[in-house]
């Protein structure tokens, strides 16, 4: 017997003490301050107030509900006031943490950029953001030190080259992840470029989807390396070929990390390319209508999927939103290779090459972005891409230009042949700018790379090190080989200092799973290089032929993990 639409399987055994704020079940009255603010005014409406009022009257004129809420609908967060230590992150009121400057997130759907766009971002970084520019692990570029007075001009310049910050943050459909090699990879299942464009046109800035329970993350790719990490997105379309030889997508729903991580689940359906837009809107609609709105920490799609199960989710999608069934479909092939970042030199379908390179922990600046644009113009066609690993790729490099572009990138400290540590260490924004952070991340991760390269120069096994400034897992702590979650710890002198809780052996792919937490396994920030070098050396000494770090962690003695 199927569960009636809108009721979770769990509700047959016990009733929740009160409604979860699901619109489809009649709970339309806001159950928390965030929902009240969204009901009072759509976040999309703040744009005109920024242009007409706030940019003219200055920071002090901004309504608090806009400042700490609706402005996120256009990629704007107040950044952390300098000098506030991590011990005060959870203690101070928001207005005490707020600086008078903003982080501005430029959404780059599918990671697709041309030279005009890249140079525009570089110019904005230099003119308005004190040169700052960070590549994120969702293919965006973030700028800092933005003043509200500058925002209308920044928008005008971005939009003139086809970019925007619309719904780069907020309870909205966030940037649509796509393979940076869409259309050029010699082994791709299919080119998802057109579907990414369609999804963006249908949902981004659409008032029908501008009030979701929480953020909503989408991945769409035909990449054989599974570079968009579909396992941890709210909704993901993964390229497959069905029994008739037809290329389409396998649909996954309900992935997400943060403090309660869950892996996405397959619905077992085959989605033809011309149905992707309808199916994506259907899943988004389910989240809007049935998603939990009472408690913010339970307002992600993963909780609904976990409670309903895939059978009910598929049934509601097909009957209520698509009005027809979807055909069954195959699971994706295992990911190609052990690294999913597209760093290096590889052939394209047309006989040219793409060249992927690794800035250090995603940190670049306006001048560096200009330099990348100049290098791409000299040696490629002018197409560049961002990846979800805080890396970049230059496309369409002629065979006789490969050596030259590699030399120029390496000379600019943009490594095409990086060490494992440079290639696979990521870091979130950290306490430098983020109001949620407890510890510093970017500089610490960069220093860790340098130290590991010095201590372990010959180590070349795949190994991900993800450094996060708080428990929210923006840098995907739980799925890293070595995941570092920022917190305050007590050092040998009994003093409270910055440090990390350690997760070991997380992975995505054939054996997806979250990292192992060994009881009491923490390190101070000062001792971090010693710890990482020690555990990596233990792995290097003890690994069997072909054994991954994640597999070794599962059988290692706890003493070798400390």
pTM assigned to the model: 0.95
Q: What are the tens digits of pLDDT across the range 499-532? A: 999 999 999 988 899 998 888 899 999 999 999 9
Tell me the pLDDT band of 2, cut-offs 50, 70 and 90: very low
> At the topology level of CATH, where does 423-561 sit?
Sulfite Reductase Hemoprotein; domain 1 (3.30.413)
Q: Alpha-carbon distance 197 to 321, whole Å?
A: 22
Tokens of 520: 């009491």
Contact 82, 431 (CB under 8 A): no
Nearest to 204 by CA among 50, 387, 23, 44: 44
For residue 355, the cross-strand partners are 345, 394
Give me the sign of the Cα torsion angle 79, 429, 47, 42.
negative
Q: Which residues are bridge partners to 385 per DSSP?
A: 112, 393
For 425-453, write each residue's pLDDT tens digit: 999 999 999 999 999 999 999 999 999 99
User: Is the distance from CB of 250 to CB of 329 less than 8 angstroms?
Assistant: yes
Mean pLDDT of 217-232: 97
Q: What are the strands, taking DSSP E only, across 272-378?
A: 344-347, 353-357, 363-365
CB atoms within 10 A of CB 159: 13
CA distances from 536 to 65, 90, 452, 460, 548 (A): 47, 33, 10, 11, 12
Contact 267, 253 (CB under 8 A): yes
Q: Do residues 284 and 213 lie in contact, with contact meaning Cβ atoms separated by under 8 Å?
A: no
Q: Under the phi-then-psi rule, with left for phi > 0, alpha for psi from -120 to 50, and beta for the rest, what region is 387?
A: beta
Answer whether residue 13 shows pLDDT above 50. no
Given a contact cutoff of 8 angstroms between Cβ atoms, the answer to whether 354 and 419 are in contact is: no
Q: Is pLDDT of 301 > 80?
A: yes
Which neighbouring-strand residues pair with 250? Answer: 238, 270
* Residue 263, both tokens: 């892996």
Q: Which tokens in the block code for residue 192? A: 């998802």
Closest CA to 51 of 125, 120, 161, 149: 149
Joined tokens for residue 97:
């943490």
Contacts of 132 (CB under 8 A, 6+ apart): 125, 142, 143, 144, 145, 365, 366
Q: Distances in Å between the alpha carbon of 334 and those of 331, 500, 554?
A: 9, 32, 21
Q: What is the pLDDT of residues 61-86, one digit of tens each?
A: 999 999 999 999 999 999 999 999 99
């Amino acid at each position: 017997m199927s569960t009636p639409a809108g009721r979770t399987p769990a509700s047959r055994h016990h009733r929740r003490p009160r409604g979860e704020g699901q619109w489809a079940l009649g709970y339309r009255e806001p159950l928390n301050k965030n929902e009240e603010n969204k009901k009072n005014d759509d976040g999309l409406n703040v744009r005109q107030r920024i242009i007409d009022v706030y940019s003219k009257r200055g920071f002090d004129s901004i309504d608090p509900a806009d400042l700490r809420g609706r402005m996120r609908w256009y990629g704007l967060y107040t950044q952390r006031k300098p000098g506030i230590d991590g011990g005060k992150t959870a203690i101070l009121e928001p207005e005490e943490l707020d600086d008078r400057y903003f982080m501005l997130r430029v959404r780059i759907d599918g990671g697709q950029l041309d030279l005009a766009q890249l140079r525009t971002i570089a110019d904005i970084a230099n003119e308005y953001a004190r040169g700052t520019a960070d590549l994120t692990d969702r293919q965006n570029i973030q700028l800092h030190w933005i003043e509200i007075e500058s925002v209308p001009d920044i928008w005008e310049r971005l939009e003139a080259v086809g970019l925007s910050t619309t719904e780069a943050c907020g309870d909205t459909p966030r940037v649509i992840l796509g393979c940076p090699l869409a259309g050029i990879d010699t082994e791709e299942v299919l080119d998802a470029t057109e579907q990414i464009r369609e999804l963006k046109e249908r949902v981004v800035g659409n008032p029908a989807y501008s009030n979701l329970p929480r953020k909503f993350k989408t991945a769409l790719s035909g990449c054989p390396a599974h570079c968009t990490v579909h396992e941890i997105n709210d909704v993901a379309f993964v390229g497959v070929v069905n029994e008739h030889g037809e290329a389409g997508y396998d649909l996954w729903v309900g992935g997400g990390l943060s403090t309660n991580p869950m892996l996405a689940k397959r619905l077992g359906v085959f989605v033809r390319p011309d149905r992707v837009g309808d199916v994506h809107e259907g899943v988004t609609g389910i989240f809007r209508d049935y998603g939990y709105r009472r408690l913010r920490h339970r307002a992600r799609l993963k909780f609904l999927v976990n409670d309903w199960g895939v059978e009910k989710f598929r049934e509601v999608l097909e009957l209520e939103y698509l009005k027809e069934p979807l055909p069954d479909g195959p699971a994706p092939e295992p990911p190609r290779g052990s690294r999913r970042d597209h760093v290096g030199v590889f052939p394209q379908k047309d006989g040219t090459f793409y060249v992927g390179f690794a800035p250090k922990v995603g940190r670049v600046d306006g001048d560096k972005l200009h330099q990348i644009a100049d290098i791409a113009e000299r040696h490629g066609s002018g197409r560049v891409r961002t990846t979800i690993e805080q890396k970049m790729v230059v496309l369409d490099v002629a065979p006789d230009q490969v050596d030259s572009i590699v030399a120029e990138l390496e000379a600019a400290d943009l490594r095409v042949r990086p060490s494992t540590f440079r290639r696979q260490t990521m870091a979130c924004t950290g306490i430098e700018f983020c109001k949620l952070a407890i510890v510093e991340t970017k500089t610490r991760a960069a220093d860790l790379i340098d130290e590991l390269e010095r201590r372990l120069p010959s180590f070349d096994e795949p190994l991900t090190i993800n450094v996060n400034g708080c428990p929210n897992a923006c840098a995907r702590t739980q799925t890293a080989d070595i995941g570092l979650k920022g917190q305050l710890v007590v050092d040998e002198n009994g003093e409270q200092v910055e440090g990390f809780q350690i997760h070991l052996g997380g992975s995505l792919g054939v054996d997806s799973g979250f990292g192992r937490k060994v009881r009491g396994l923490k390190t101070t920030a000062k001792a971090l290089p010693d710890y990482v070098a020690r555990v990596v050396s233990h792995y290097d000494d003890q690994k069997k032929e072909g054994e991954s770090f994640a597999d070794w962690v599962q059988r290692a003695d706890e003493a070798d993990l400390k």
